[in-house]
Structure 1
Amino acid sequence: MSAAGGVAPSTTRVMNLSHFLTQAARRDPDGIGFVWGEKTWSWARMEARVNAMAHALATEFGVSKGDRILVQSANCNQMFESMFACFRVGAVWVPTNFRQTPDEVAWLAQASGARGMICSAAFPEHARTCKEASPALDFVIAIGEAPFGEGYDEIVARHEGRAVKTAAVDRDDPCWFFFTSGTTGRPKAAVLTHGQMGFVVTNHLCDLMPGTGPGDASIVVAPLSHGAGVHQLVQVAHGVKTILSASDKFEAGAIWSLIERWRVTNLFTVPTILKMLVEDPAVARVDHSSLRYVIYAGAPMYRADQKRALEALGTVLVQYFGLGEVTGNITVLPPALHSLEDGPHTRIGTCGFERTGMQVEIQDDKGEEVAAGETGEICVVGPAVFAGYYDNPEANAKAFRNGWFRTGDLGHMDENGFVYITGRASDMYISGGSNIYPREIEEKILLHPGISEVAVLGVPDPVWGEVGVAVCVPRDGFLPADIDLRPWLEERIARYKMPKRFVFWSEMPKSAYGKIAKKLIREELAKRGELEPAA
């Protein structure tokens, strides 16, 4: 296309995301970029290690643009570096949920068509199963000393001081296969691209943590394979150091100690983990005044838990709503709109308003926009929407309608553009001909002082079609026999919404990312024989 009127020809060329690390190393080479336990890495050292691994991938292992590299590892510096090394050579980073079984990860290797694998020494069975199941898997690099491949650090040392030219990429070139959590079936590979993620990084800095820069520090409290990895990529873009706990296990007290020690200014987590942090005694002992943004996503936060967090931390909460397919960029509720008081102007239950550059619409089953306040499916368009599911035309056909991405979440929007999530479409059940949305009931149950966690599910019933079962976890000091939720709810919800049964468990099944997983709860109910209709 020729230029006209002095306007340059159109192009889809964009910045390779690995350049964020190069920029940080140029601006502050000696500054600390990554902390893991007692070890630290400067920005210059991180850049050198990424250069070395990228050189090895390209020249020793023959990795080229578009190749997929599977990564099976708990959080560590090598895993984080591998993201930038893959990006630098134009390869696609394919991180797994490290808690998945060998067979599950082998399926991911096959589904992604991975050419290579970077695997922690802690997972030899995963490496073996992947190699057996995927003939296309040419090599395995081990993080740590392992029998299944040469060590990552040894390879970096051998290629020290070498670099490859950063791969040229277009807007739609894949950079990351972001596997969905798979709570309703096999995980799907959402294809994230360099151009899309460039927008996401800018949008996160604009909407979630404005003013964030080199003087800040961010702590990791979730697996880098998913939302936390996106969050830490954002930190690198503005030269913010990343703090990683020395332990693979979540320890609230240790997290608070690191926040105090490193003067952490932001963190990303999910509501259940934030709840655990806020309820840990250490929150009252340590100095966490450095925190400016405590960002939570992945699920709406119940109002009772939100209030406790505000009381403990102050006005630092930021909520965003967004699936992996939209990389978090659907709505935002900033600190100023997190109110502790339930006043007439408090928008209780909202997940915020549209993210910058994104458009949200509530649609009916035909794809038509519904009126303000009316419930429908939350749909979204904008530059943060992913390129589609890899090699899955059936899923893509279901996910998009008239150009809109269908989230599968139900909700409504008020006249001022604030979005309220009712729940997943798959969570809704029909009892006696009436649609029941569990989230509304869960919110009311959590107001009871004796309830810590709850999940309401619809189960078969011969009379009503479906009825609600409320699975509850009591707070410390409360016995199930002393908690009578039926009279408590009678004054708070309509009679037809009342769960038919209340069961009490000592703990709630959760996904690997800390979310209450209704699929797992339903499976546990079946094991206990509690899915059968009551006599």
Structure 2
Amino acid sequence: MSDTASSSGSGIDPKGGVVPCSTRVMNLATFLSQAARRVSDNVSLVWGDRQWSWRETEARVNAMAHALVHEFGVQKGDRVLVQSANCNQMFESMFATFRAGAVWVPTNFRQTPDEVAYLAQSSGASLMICQAGFAAHAEACAKTSPALTKFIAIGDAAFGEDYDAIVARNEGQTLAPVAVDRDDPCWYFYTSGTTGRPKAAVLTHGQMAFVINNHHCDLFPGITSDDRSIVVAPLSHGAGVHQLTQVARGATTILMPTERMDIDALWRLVAEWRVTNLFTVPTIVKMLVEDPAVDRYDHSSLRYVIYAGAPMYREDQKRALQKLGKVLVQYFGLGEVTGAITVLPPVMHSLEDGEAARIGTCGFERTGMQVQIQNEQGEEVAQGETGEICAIGPAVFAGYYQNPEANAKSFRNGWFRTGDLGHMDAQGFVYITGRQSDMYISGGSNVYPREIEEKLLQHPAVGEVAILGVPDPVWGEVGVAVCVLRPGERADAAELAAFLDGKVSRYKLPKRYLFWDEMPKSAYGKIAKKLIREELDKRGELDPQPARLSA
């Protein structure tokens, strides 16, 4: 064999290493085509009173992809911005964009026009698919992004031609998936922007193919075209990744009929369609199992209730296990690692608080991924010692789009730095202490709020809690506990302080307790400490104050 690679196949370099001759991978839109070929008459998508078969969804995606390329001039690598609540067109736009070799740039539809305009400008999008009800968003994007010149409306709107009319005009047209390489981008996954402007994490075709396999392996093994998945979060982020994995198995996707979180309707659909899996965040799981509707409908079909995005407090976890049985699957992972860092499968969720429960863990390393706990110098810390959770593996993204400063901060010696603090035990189970930004220093000692929050949630009156460090003239920083009580329950600051006494070290005890009617949450339903801090600032609670037990 020649010492150099030929034009076809791999070769051997002079040192004996393999020389890769191709990085070609499958275009992710092929998953849809494969499902349409395999189970063409099965239901692919349900939304309200409408249903589409895999054959129909494939035809609609083909028609839109053909239009994107031949009518709107979309080329490989172009960015397609999508501003829409969950609907069949939003679902289809992912695959039409992938098929055209373009990059899907979905927004959180709850963002303001100015926030979406920033995403349009920073992504360099040239085409926007926008629901008719978001005309102000389309207008704001057009004003701030000269490159954005083409618009498609979902529904009747003055800013663009209707999506369904374009599909109808291109009925019967097909478009072969554009050839892609492993590192070709397919999705700009915008971070939530908890520390400044949102950043576009670049997800690629090759990376996402690994993630899909990894999800099938670690999160919901054994799903088939007989499975059904219900969507309870915007498709723009983690729910979109989850539904992509369902398409890869030909499983049916069921969208909630309205944007509003209607818990009764969700449980009714679970019973009607015999739903087998769903993906959400811990706060939504908490809402689902605490609502009386959970007892009105049959949910015995559920095999996997997957939660991520934040750790689930132990008391909430136990309540969910009592109501749903051993179906909980936890995974830890940021958008930058496409969710694939650790997993805690159903068998490792326990109602008992013994050693087997591993209380507080987010699980062990995902298949093909490696986790290391590092200090500020990038060195691995001793077992059980707290440090930053870092990860390497094929699920890690390609980097932030046009943001070298963020890339330099997020990678060190090849490891992606999550910004989460935690430790690892002798068996490799990871425990999250909290975000680096959540930790505060009181009297020279590090305080990690999650530990205290877990204890407070054991009080029967406390439904939600968030503890933040605020300035203090004596101790540097002290903890403020913001609490939301359960309906009909009463408690005051003195009672909660007494409840914590002896459960955590005295230096960790909050110095103030505040009681609010509701907790600020992100658009994805997560308790957002950035928003809580902003509200504290508005109320003057961030100013240094004498220690007090306030209500």
TM-score bin (small chain): over 0.9
Q: Does 1:139 align with 2:170?
A: no
Which of 311, 319, 322 lines up with 1:300 in the alignment?
A: 311
The answer to whether the 8 A contact 1:353-1:419 is kept is: yes
Q: Does 1:323 align with 2:323?
A: no
Deviations 1:297-354 (A, max 9, x none): 0000000000000000000000000000000000000000000000133200000000
Greater shift, 427-436 or 248-257, is seen at 248-257
In 2, the alpha carbon distance for the partners of 1:528 and 1:254 equals 37
In 1, the alpha carbon distance for the partners of 2:52 and 2:356 equals 47
The answer to whether the 8 A contact 2:189-2:201 is kept is: yes
In 2, the alpha carbon distance for the partners of 1:497 and 1:89 equals 54
Amino acid at match of 1:88: R
Query: Equivalent residue for 1:489?
Result: 500
The answer to whether the 8 A contact 2:78-2:125 is kept is: yes
Q: CA deviation at 1:165?
A: 2.1
Which of 378, 392, 395 lines up with 1:381 in the alignment?
A: 392
Which of 19, 29, 53 lines up with 1:18 in the alignment?
A: 29
In the TM superposition, 1:290-439 aligns within 5 A as 290-439=301-450
Deviations 1:377-419 (A, max 9, x none): 0000000000000000000000000000000000000010000
Q: Does 1:470 align with 2:474?
A: no
In 1, the alpha carbon distance for the partners of 2:163 and 2:143 equals 21
| Residue segments in structure 1 that go unaligned for 5+ positions in a row | none
Amino acid at match of 1:422: T
In 1, the alpha carbon distance for the partners of 2:279 and 2:518 equals 24
Cα distance change, pair 10–345 in 1 and its aligned pair in 2 (3 A): same
In the TM superposition, 1:48-197 aligns within 5 A as 48-197=59-208
Which of 243, 251, 254 lines up with 1:240 in the alignment?
A: 251
Which of 291, 305, 308 lines up with 1:280 in the alignment?
A: 291
Count matched residues: 535
In 2, the alpha carbon distance for the partners of 1:135 and 1:426 equals 36
In 1, the alpha carbon distance for the partners of 2:83 and 2:236 equals 9
* Runs of 4+ in structure 1 over 3 Å off: 7-10, 480-483
The answer to whether the 8 A contact 1:208-1:295 is kept is: yes
Identical-pair percentage: 73
Query: Equivalent residue for 1:499?
Result: 510
Query: Equivalent residue for 1:261?
Result: 272
In 2, the alpha carbon distance for the partners of 1:342 and 1:395 equals 41
Amino acid at match of 1:380: A
Deviations 1:358-381 (A, max 9, x none): 000000000000111000000000
Q: Does 1:440 align with 2:451?
A: yes
Q: CA deviation at 1:107?
A: 0.5
Q: CA deviation at 1:55?
A: 0.4
Amino acid at match of 2:267: W
Query: Equivalent residue for 1:223?
Result: 234
In the TM superposition, 1:26-45 aligns within 5 A as 26-45=37-56
Cα distance change, pair 500–154 in 1 and its aligned pair in 2 (3 A): same
Q: CA deviation at 1:9?
A: 5.4
The answer to whether the 8 A contact 1:480-1:504 is kept is: no
In 2, the alpha carbon distance for the partners of 1:508 and 1:164 equals 47
SS of 2:161 mapped into structure 1:
coil
Q: CA deviation at 1:8?
A: 9.5
Greater shift, 525-534 or 74-83, is seen at 525-534
Q: Does 1:203 align with 2:214?
A: yes
Deviations 1:182-212 (A, max 9, x none): 1111000000000000000000011000000
In 1, the alpha carbon distance for the partners of 2:373 and 2:320 equals 30
SS of 1:412 mapped into structure 2:
strand
